Structure formats: structure tokens, C-alpha cells
Chain A
Amino acid sequence: MKRDLICIICPRGCAMHVEGEKDNLTVTGNACPKGKQYAIDECTHPTRTVTSIVRVSNREDTMVSVKTAAPIPKENIFDVMAKIRATKVEAPIEAGTVILSDIYGTEVIATKSIF
């Protein structure tokens, strides 16, 4: 395979080129090892951190922001979004509290404290 991609790890945005077979990929154009890893992951099993919001049922017009504690497979983003959307929580919530567990090998946690 051959693929050109732009690194999203940091704002530098390196233009990278990937060539080779699935378990023997060569990456060029990356400025750091994180970029190489990103390129290989992106070509074999792309992942993303998902961030969203969950309604706080005992506060008026209040949402608590959440994220997956680790990146999840890219193809599962909309499934995770559906699970997040179906969830409600009650305040008080500490940032870091687990909102949903067992989400593609990780969990969804609060990123804001609601007192």
C-alpha cells in the first residue's frame, strides 16, 4: 500500500508518506517517533478520542463534558456517541468520574466537575 497523510499529533502537521505491507510499513516525512506511530496506527487500526456531553438531570440546562479515557477504534465513534447520548447523570460529579464503563476497552469519564 501507499498512502499520504498529515499527522494530527501536534500542530506541526507533518506531511507523511507510508509504504509497504501491513506488518512492514515504512514511514517518511515524520519529524518525531510519535508521528511514525500515528502513521502506522492510522494505516492499520485508526483510533480517536471521542469527546461529547451528557445531560445533568438534576440541574437546569446543564451538561457535563465527557471523553473516552483512551482512543477508541475510529469505526466505533458513532456507536459510542449513541451510547453517550442515551446517558444521563446526576450532580454532583467530579472530573474523572466514570460515566460509562466497558467502551471498546476503555471508559467514558467526566472532564468537568459539576457541583
Chain B
Amino acid sequence: MTAHDIVIVGGGPAGMAAAVAAYDSGVTDVVILDREDSVGGILRQCIHNGFGLHKLGRELTGPEYADVYRKEVEKRGIKIYCETMVTAVSTDRVVTARNRQGIMKIQAGAVVLAMGCRERSRGALNISGTRPAGVYSAGTAQKLINCEGYMVGKKVVILGSGDIGLIMARRMSFEGAKVEAVCEIMPYSGGLTRNIVQCLEDYGIPLYLSTTVAEIHGQKRVEGVTIAEVDENRRVKEETKRYIPCDTLLLSCGLIPENELTRSAGIPIDPITSGALVDENRETATPGIFACGNVLQVHDLVDYVSDEAEIAGIGAANFVKNGAVTGETVATKPGNGVRYVLPQRVHTDKGNDVALFMRVTQPFGKVRFTVKSGDEVLATAVRLKAAPGEMEKIVVKSEKLALASEPITVSLEVL
């Protein structure tokens, strides 16, 4: 068994930003373990632009954004193990991994979980019909086209209007495919508004809301899909069924944090975010194990992944230097109109401002968020609009946080 101060599981944007932040906080013995052949994670296949506007003040493509962080990691001499798959993390912070050299066990001073997320598959969606070739998750199609140069189809229907689906609608159009339709089962899109504009409207691709794929047709290859409108309980309205000939169906139906390691370590998971329960330092309920990025909560923007990873990296470095953070925590809870709040618990007596992140339950117009503990109002924020696809952030000032003795609830009222 070897030993390192901080072991980071995953070398995507979260893992790299956490490594850099931990190093800059004074803990230099940091290693990154990644199962792919190079770092960068999902950014390597996200060749479109729009990354970095918030975090770096310039607009980059995914590979360029990843490269910024790869260079920072390499400049600090942080060791990266690629093609190395972590198979277990224990509560006493022993990380087990395997690669071509064999199995290695590392005793870590602190662990940062940054495994990212994966896509919901056809099996999880229960779409009826045959099982022909030509059904891809949007991200798989993105990897095949952008990294391997393999064009997946010519006539495409996309189920789900998440950002990857929207980006792929444009990408497939660029490569000469005809995108017949994007279907979204919800009455609103889960993607960013700007992606609906620049990926669908720019190319005249129709977006059908409250519509799903009811059946997949074809024996060897997809020959078409039956789409149909759904009622308020998401049940197919038989009379609205119609057939669209196509050779490819892309699924962009949500992302699931990849928490197998977290679960097998016995670390408690939030049933709503499907990520670990964490405090304001992104420390899980298991001391010394931190989580950040899409394995903790699925983000809209990589810029915010990097921000969150820096919090976790600094948290891990402080754990190595000073031991566990002591003191009482209070829980945070979603109230009216709010689906979840992260972090799920906060220390109130540390003298630091704490940013709370949340998603709303449905699209709203102008709203006021109120953060309360008992009858004490800790913070309010007015937004012109709020949508589930866009994460909200509200900062609670340290002097207000010190007043919180009961659980902190975030709720909204429509103005």
C-alpha cells in the first residue's frame, strides 16, 4: 500500500479543479486517478463553444476548457494516473484501483469523489417496441461523431430536450443529417434557453413539448418511431400517435450521478440529487471524503462545476492539515417551489458566508426566494424568472448564518 495526502477519483473538470485548489491550499501530495486514456472527462467530446464565460471570462470549446485545467495540473506536478479504474473507496479512505500494472491500494489523507455522471438509458426509460440498432444516448452519439469520426445516422429523432440533446441536434445538422423532431415529455424544456435558440430555432428543428416516443420500429435498424402527446400524468394520448420515419433515435433524458463507489462505501445519498449528502465544504457524511461536480449534483455549466470543485479541494486540504471540521451543523431543506438545496447541512459558527445552490420544481416568472431558519430570515433574492434547468445560487452572510439554530428552509413566492 502506498500513501498520498489527497486522492482524487476522476480527472474531469471537477477532479482537475479540486486538485489545483487543494495544491494551492498547501497540500502538494495530490494524485488524480482517471479511467480514460487522458484527463478532461466529458469535455473532450464537447467540441462546441460556450464554456468558460463565467469562470475564465472567455468563451472556449470543451477541449480548450479542459486544457486550461490540464496545464494548471501539470504545472504543479500533480501526478495523474490514466487508464486507472478505481474499484473501491473505504470509509477509512483506502482507495483501491486497477490498471495495466495491476492492483494498487492507496491510503489517502482525504479523498475527493469527482466521477461525474452518466446518461439515462433506453432500458431505464421503458420505451416499447423492437430493439434495433440506431438507438443511442445523445452523449454516446456525441463521442462517436466528435472523437471517432463515426456518423451515427442520417434521419434523426431526439427524445429529451436536455442540453446534450439540443447540442446534438445542431451537431447532426452540421454533419448533413436531417433532425426530424425533438420530443420532450415535460411541458417545458430541460435545456438552457440559449441552446433552444441557437441549436433548434437556428436550423428550423421542431421542438414538441408534452410529447414522447411511444414505440420504436425496425428489425435490424431503426426504421421509425411513433411519437405521441402525453396528458398531465405523462400517459400517452392514443389519438395523437403519429409515425415518423427515421434511422436513428437519440436519447437525452437526464443524467445520473455515477455514485457506485460512494454507495458501496456506505456514504449516505440524497434521494433527490442522487449525490452524496454534503456540508458547505462538500464533505460527505464520512469524514475526509469529499464530493464535487456532477457526481454530487448535475450542473448546467462546467464553470459552476469548477467552482464547486475548488470548494471541495480546499475542504480536503484543510482536512489533511487540520483534521475534521468540528461544531454543530444545521440541515437545509427545500420549501415551497424548491426541489432541493445543496449543501444539505451547514456549520453556522465558522464566520464564513455560505452559498446555497438549488433548483426549482417548475418554470416560474418573477419570484422571490427566502432563506429562513425558524422565523429568522437569513437571505432573500429576487429573480426575473426561474426554471428547473437553471441552477440558482443564494449567498447567506456569515452574521446571518450565526443566527440559524433551526433547519434552514429555502422557499419561493411568485411575485
- Chains A and B bind each other: yes
List A residues at the B interface (Cβ < 8 Å): 5-11, 13, 48-53, 55, 61-63, 65-67, 74, 77-78, 81, 85, 95, 111-113
Closest 10 CB pairs of A and B: A13-B193, A8-B194, A65-B47, A112-B63, A111-B61, A63-B149, A61-B148, A8-B198, A111-B63, A51-B48
Contact call A111/B64, Cβ cutoff below 8 A: yes
Most buried by B among A53, A62, A95: A53
A95 touching B202 in the complex, CB below 8 Å, given contacts A10-B53, A10-B54, A11-B390: no
Contact call A48/B202, Cβ cutoff below 8 A: yes
In the assembled complex, B192 has its CB within 8 A of some CB on chain A: yes
In the assembled complex, B145 has its CB within 8 A of some CB on chain A: yes
Contact call A6/B61, Cβ cutoff below 8 A: no
Total residue contacts A-B, CB cutoff 8 A: 80
Give the residues in chain A near B54, CB-CB below 8 Å.
Answer: 10
How far is it, in angstroms, between the C-alpha of A45 and the C-alpha of B300 when the chains are bound? 29
In the assembled complex, B67 has its CB within 8 A of some CB on chain A: yes
Interface 0/1 of B168-188, CB less than 8 Å to A: 000000110000000000000
Contact call A52/B47, Cβ cutoff below 8 A: yes
Return A85 CB to nearest CB of chain B, in Å. Answer: 8
17 interchain pairs, CB-CB under 8 A: A5-B197, A6-B193, A8-B197, A9-B53, A11-B390, A49-B49, A51-B49, A53-B145, A62-B148, A62-B149, A65-B61, A66-B47, A77-B174, A85-B175, A111-B47, A111-B60, A112-B63
Give the residues in chain B near A74, CB-CB below 8 Å.
Answer: 202
How far is it, in angstroms, between the C-alpha of A81 and the C-alpha of B176 when the chains are bound? 9
Give the residues in chain A near B59, CB-CB below 8 Å.
Answer: 49
Contact call B146/A53, Cβ cutoff below 8 A: yes
Known: A51-B48, A65-B61. 9 other contacts (CB 8 A): A5-B197, A8-B194, A10-B53, A13-B192, A48-B198, A50-B174, A63-B146, A95-B64, A111-B47
In the assembled complex, B414 has its CB within 8 A of some CB on chain A: no
Contact call B194/A13, Cβ cutoff below 8 A: yes
B67 to chain A: closest residue by CB? A95
Return B335 CB to nearest CB of chain A, in Å. Answer: 24
Contact call B146/A11, Cβ cutoff below 8 A: no
A11 touching B192 in the complex, CB below 8 Å, given contacts A51-B61, A63-B149, A65-B146: yes
A53 touching B202 in the complex, CB below 8 Å, given contacts A61-B148, A67-B61, A112-B63: no
How far is it, in angstroms, between the C-alpha of A88 and the C-alpha of B401 when the chains are bound? 58
